[in-house]
Amino acid sequence: MSSDSDKETIEKKPEESKPAETKTPEKPAVAKPAEEKPAASKPAPAKEEPELPAFEKGIADKIIEKFGEKTTISFVKPDRVGIKVGRDDIHDVAEFARDTLNYDHVDSVAGVDYPTDKEIEVVYHLSSYTDPTLSRQVLELATRAQREEDPIPGNDATKLPSLRDIFYSVEFHEREVFEMLGVYFEGHPDNRRLLLPEDWADLPPLRKDFRNKGR
């Protein structure tokens, strides 16, 4: 029974997936954080629909209390808090998260390309080793950089302030985001290539307009 359903999946995949891909540019890809806020508690809430988890709500409230309008809460789920910050305030919010909220390192830095919004989102996953109450928690700090159609990595408007002076652990992650999405991090001491070959002259490969060959 299981193998049958797998086969179906494989066979059906090409017909369904191709139109979906071609549609990507036209359709707004991912819900913007503003809309996401009500929708955010949808995936988890099978159990706890009405009220948000208290501890996580407390973290989100502290940030909102400090920065007010500059930040938006994109979601509050069990153990996960998502905060969206403008590019000018990301440095301050990160500093606040480190000094007051006791987040001490960055798990991962993910870059997501949104061609329809003409923006590239960079998501920092903050976590804590030292504070036992935060050991389950991950704070998603998202910020967006302007996206250029013809990128010249490092020399165009796609720039963000680097968080390396706050969280030392982002050093290699930011280098990776720079080469994979072309987001230049101002203040990063070592903005060199990391994974890609030195002679890579194509688009940054994780942008949506870089197509895999044959797909």
- Give me the residues that bind other proteins (CB under 8 A), please: 1-2, 5-6, 8-10, 12-13, 16-17, 20-21, 29-31, 36, 39-40, 42-44, 46, 75, 79-80, 82, 104-108, 110, 112-113, 123, 125, 129-130, 135-136, 138, 140, 167-173, 176, 193-197, 205-206, 210, 212, 215
Q: From CA 162, how far away is CA 167, in angstroms rounded? A: 9
Q: How far is the CB of 40 from other proteins (least distance, A)?
A: 7
Minimum CB distance to other proteins smaller for 88 or for 209: 209
State the angle between helix axes of 90-99 and 54-67 in degrees (0 to 180), rounded to the nearest 10.
130
With tokens 């250029």, the residue in question is 148
Q: Is 129 helix (H, G, I), strand (E, B) or coil?
A: coil
**Sequence-ordered list of residues with C-beta below 8 angstroms from that of 58, at least 6 positions apart, any chain:** none
Residue 104 one-letter amino acid = D
How many C-beta atoms lie closer than 10 Å to residue 135's C-beta?
Answer: 11
Q: How far is the CB of 3 from other proteins (least distance, A)?
A: 9
Minimum CB distance to other proteins smaller for 152 or for 172: 172
Q: How far is the CB of 47 from other proteins (least distance, A)?
A: 10
Integer angstrom CA distances of residue 28 from 79, 123, 181, 191, 197: 28, 19, 19, 31, 33
DSSP state for residue 174 in the 8-state scheme: H
Q: What is the number of residues in the chain?
A: 215
Q: How far is the CB of 159 from other proteins (least distance, A)?
A: 21
Minimum CB distance to other proteins smaller for 66 or for 117: 117
Minimum CB distance to other proteins smaller for 9 or for 100: 9
Q: How far is the CB of 64 from other proteins (least distance, A)?
A: 20
User: Do 164 and 178 form a contact (C-beta atoms < 8 A)?
Assistant: no
Minimum CB distance to other proteins smaller for 60 or for 170: 170
Minimum CB distance to other proteins smaller for 53 or for 66: 53
Q: How far is the CB of 72 from other proteins (least distance, A)?
A: 15
